[in-house]
Amino acid sequence: ATPMAVMVGTGLGASRGILFKNASALEDATKLNVVIFDKTGTLTMGEPRVVDIVAAEGRMPEQVLLLAAAVEKGSEHPLALAILDKAEGLKIPEARDFLNRDGRGAQAEVNGDTVFLGNRRLMDEESISLGGLADKAEELKGAGRTVVHVAHQGILVGLIAIADAPRPTAKAAIARLHDKGVEVAMLTGDNEGTARRVAEELGIDIVLADVLPGQKADKVKELQAQGKRVGMVGDGINDAPALTQADVGFAIGAGTDVAMESADVVLMRSDPYDVVGAVELSRATLRKMH
Ligand code: ADP
Ligand code: MG
């Protein structure tokens, strides 16, 4: 690799908001066989909003929202912000003993009893049956919604359906990576049903769903163990180990500092299409070296 070609390549990247941190990142980007995208905030806008509240029999949607909002006051998760936004202007009850349930949801005491809220895994762990809402939950997931289950006094009181729109260029970026012979995977802590629907919409080959924060790097390793050279694109603190593990880690510039420090390439414009730009630029640069 001639230092001159690398300088020109990285300079050109920088002018387009694609920051290669070193020469080996530029070289490794030419060899990628698969690119894994984190779902929330990377393929999607990361601006989730509540689109539906379904109450269990004998309950009111507003009661479901208030119980959920009481717990989410203690959380900084993007889903928490969506729920608090929906509860704006309402009188949210006091909550105590807030506890984050990593990769699952959260819990707190409200009106003298524990509220559990989060994904299906959390309900299963707490032995809370979905009862009459099981079919509804599946239906919402099938439509690509993230379903937040809300339970109080050991009983499911309702479901909150949350939508997060794909970034406008996500689908085109994936199609273009395919043209270049690169497979595309999606990695998410969200459930399989929701993830599959979003993957179908975007044309993604491999779905890695229900992944706990501590397991993201292992998923990268598994693909590497199949002989693949893996690119990983993410934005969050819990993406950092996976970004480090990947052959090339790409951080979305609007993400966390931790993600940006762990990455080999920073995409300043937070545009998934810039992954295509990075691969093209690296290939063009390397061609000029030979
Ligand atoms: P990701 O970063 O891939 O979205 P997380 O590990 O943050 O995944 O969360 C995984 C899942 O756990 C979410 O899809 C959601 O169902 C549930 N969850 C986590 N935190 C919360 C929260 N504060 N409120 C509601 N649901 C939550
Ligand atoms: Mg994320």
Structurally, at CATH architecture level, domain 6-45+166-287 sits in 3-Layer(aba) Sandwich (3.40)
Task: Give residue 34's pLDDT band: very low, low, confident or very high (50, 70, 90).
Answer: very high
Q: What is the pLDDT of residue 1?
A: 59
Task: Give residue 289's pLDDT band: very low, low, confident or very high (50, 70, 90).
Answer: low
Residue nearest to atom 7 of ligand 1 (CA): 103
Helix 61-72 vs helix 78-86: crossing angle, to nearest 10: 130
The pLDDT tens digits for 230-271 are 999 998 888 999 999 999 999 998 778 888 899 999 999 999
Establish whether 97 is a catalytic residue. Answer: no
Alpha-carbon distance of 86 to 69, in angstroms, equals 9
Question: Is 225's pLDDT higher than 90?
Answer: yes
Question: Is 137's pLDDT higher than 60?
Answer: yes
Structurally, at CATH architecture level, domain 49-163 sits in 3-Layer(aba) Sandwich (3.40)
Neighbours of ion ligand 2 (CB under 5 A): 38, 40-41, 236
Q: What is the CA radius of gyration of the chain?
A: 21
Q: What is the pLDDT of residue 255?
A: 76
State mean pLDDT over 23-27.
Answer: 92
Q: Where in the chain is the domain with CATH 3.40.1110.10?
A: 49-163
Task: Give residue 135's pLDDT band: very low, low, confident or very high (50, 70, 90).
Answer: very high
Alpha helices (runs of H) in the chain, residue ranges in sequence order: 3-15, 23-28, 61-72, 78-86, 120-125, 134-142, 170-179, 192-202, 216-225, 240-245, 257-262, 273-287
What residues line ligand 1, using a CB cutoff of 6 Å?
39-40, 72, 75, 77, 79-80, 103-106, 117-119, 146, 148, 188-190, 213, 236
C-alpha distances (whole Å) from 189 to each of 83, 105, 109, 208, 210 are 18, 11, 25, 9, 5
Alpha-carbon distance of 123 to 194, in angstroms, equals 17
Q: Where in the chain is the domain with CATH 3.40.50.1000?
A: 6-45+166-287
State mean pLDDT over 163-189.
Answer: 97
Q: What is the pLDDT of residue 290?
A: 56
- Dist. CA 100 → ligand 1 center (Å): 10
State mean pLDDT over 163-168.
Answer: 95
Task: Give residue 224's pLDDT band: very low, low, confident or very high (50, 70, 90).
Answer: very high
Q: What is the pLDDT of residue 192?
A: 95
